[in-house]
């Protein structure tokens, strides 16, 4: 219950600056609410007082220095609850409210999450499950914004692998609901390497599911491609992989 309480606390703390950042990323109020996005303030004393220090330490949301100072990884960040298909918050992910260029120049992590078994989790599956079942097709992307923007553009059968590590467990999970899995990883070196690995292995231990790769242009991710090229271009990219 601690992580659910943290997620709710952060939803309640969404402020104008956080909303401006999310609007700037092209996310509407409807999808901010649908994906239960939140904001963790820079000052975390109220969070500690509200949830309890021992609870937050146990879940790895905060940690203490040798001097007893409380530190928090998710401060001053957009918060993404990781909700499994049964509606349980299994982790909390955060992203600093800075541009990719600033994050890279300061050598910051773009995303961070409270430790959990991510090999068995797909971001957005709780929202995508009914559409995946209807269409018998799942689209797998990398990041949280890729998933959210995909849903906003009408691709509601999209889930995220939380990075580029698609596991056999992920595929087995999706194969219960889908006959087709389309993988759309980032058009960068890491994304291409992950796609090539999947293409070579084809996760042969998973039967009765068709796995294909849709390749984005160099430098694009699903979020940027949809925002710049639109629904029809992305639909054509997806259809080309089937």
pLDDT for res 200: 46
pLDDT for res 138: 97
pLDDT for res 225: 95
Q: Are residues 26 and 76 in the same domain?
A: yes
Q: Are residues 88 and 166 in the same domain?
A: no
Mean pLDDT of 221-234: 95
Please count the structural domains in the chain.
Answer: 2
Q: Are residues 90 and 152 in the same domain?
A: no
pLDDT of 52 higher than 60: yes
Q: Return the CATH number at 192.
A: 3.40.1360.10
Q: Are residues 110 and 148 in the same domain?
A: no
pLDDT for res 204: 53
Q: Which carries the bigger pLDDT value, residue 186 or residue 18?
A: 18
Q: Strand, coil or helix: what is 106?
A: coil
pLDDT tens per residue across span 152-162: 999 999 999 98
Q: Are residues 84 and 131 in the same domain?
A: no
Q: Rounded CA gap, 164 and 209, in Å?
A: 20
Q: Which carries the bigger pLDDT value, residue 215 or residue 101?
A: 215
Cα–Cα nearest to 155, from 97, 236, 212: 236
DSSP string of 37-65, one letter each residue: -EEE-S--HHHHHHH-HHHHHHHTSEEE-
pLDDT for res 206: 64
Q: Are residues 173 and 104 in the same domain?
A: no
Mean pLDDT of the chain: 87
At which of 66, 82, 116 does a domain end?
116
E strand or H helix at 3:
helix 2-12
Sheet holding 77-83, edge to edge: 38-40, 77-83, 89-96, 112-113
Mean pLDDT of 205-232: 88
Spatial CB neighbours of 184, under 8 Å, sequence gap ≥ 6: 139, 140, 141, 146, 213, 214, 216, 222, 237, 238, 241
At which of 116, 141, 158 does a domain end?
116
Q: Are residues 224 and 129 in the same domain?
A: yes
Q: Which domain holds residue 218?
A: 125-241
Mean pLDDT of 106-119: 76
Q: Are residues 48 and 155 in the same domain?
A: no
Q: Which carries the bigger pLDDT value, residue 99 or residue 216?
A: 216
| Residues 184, 137 contacting (CB under 8 angstroms) | no
Q: Are residues 62 and 91 in the same domain?
A: yes
Spatial CB neighbours of 71, under 8 Å, sequence gap ≥ 6: 62, 63, 64, 65
Q: Are residues 66 and 129 in the same domain?
A: no
Q: What ranges in 25-167 are assigned the alpha helix state H?
A: 29-34, 45-51, 53-59, 100-105, 125-135, 144-152
pLDDT of 10 higher than 70: yes
Q: Return the CATH number at 30.
A: 3.90.980.10
pLDDT of 187 higher than 70: no
pLDDT for res 223: 94
pLDDT tens per residue across span 113-141: 887 777 789 999 999 999 999 999 999 99
Q: Are residues 166 and 231 in the same domain?
A: yes
Mean pLDDT of 8-26: 96
At which of 116, 148, 177 does a domain end?
116
CB neighbourhood size of 44 (10 A): 20
Q: Are residues 23 and 79 in the same domain?
A: yes
For the chain, how big is the Rg over CA atoms in Å? 18
Percent of the chain whose predicted confidence (pLDDT) is above 70: 90
């Amino acid at each position: 219950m601690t992580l659910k309480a943290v997620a709710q606390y952060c939803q309640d703390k969404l402020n104008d600056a956080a909303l401006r950042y999310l609007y700037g990323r092209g996310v509407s109020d409807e999808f901010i609410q649908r994906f239960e996005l939140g904001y963790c303030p820079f000052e975390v004393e109220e969070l500690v007082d509200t949830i309890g220090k021992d609870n937050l330490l146990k879940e790895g949301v905060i940690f203490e220095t040798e001097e007893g100072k409380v530190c928090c990884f998710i401060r001053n960040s957009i918060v993404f609850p990781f909700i499994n298909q049964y509606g349980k918050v299994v982790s909390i992910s955060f992203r600093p409210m800075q541009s990719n260029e600033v994050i890279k120049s300061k050598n910051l992590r773009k995303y961070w999450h409270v430790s959990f078994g991510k090999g068995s989790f797909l971001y957005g599956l709780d929202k995508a499950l009914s559409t995946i079942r209807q269409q018998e097709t799942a689209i797998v992307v990398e990041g949280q914004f890729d998933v959210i923007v995909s849903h906003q553009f009408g691709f509601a059968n999209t889930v995220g692998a939380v990075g580029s590590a698609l596991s056999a467990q992920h595929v087995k999970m999706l194969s219960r609901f889908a006959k087709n899995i389309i993988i759309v990883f980032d058009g960068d070196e890491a994304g291409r390497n992950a796609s090539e690995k999947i293409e070579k292995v084809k996760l042969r231990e998973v039967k009765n599911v068709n796995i294909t790769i849709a390749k984005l242009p160099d430098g694009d991710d699903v979020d940027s491609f949809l925002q710049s090229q639109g629904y029809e271009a992305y639909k054509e990219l997806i259809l080309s992989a089937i």
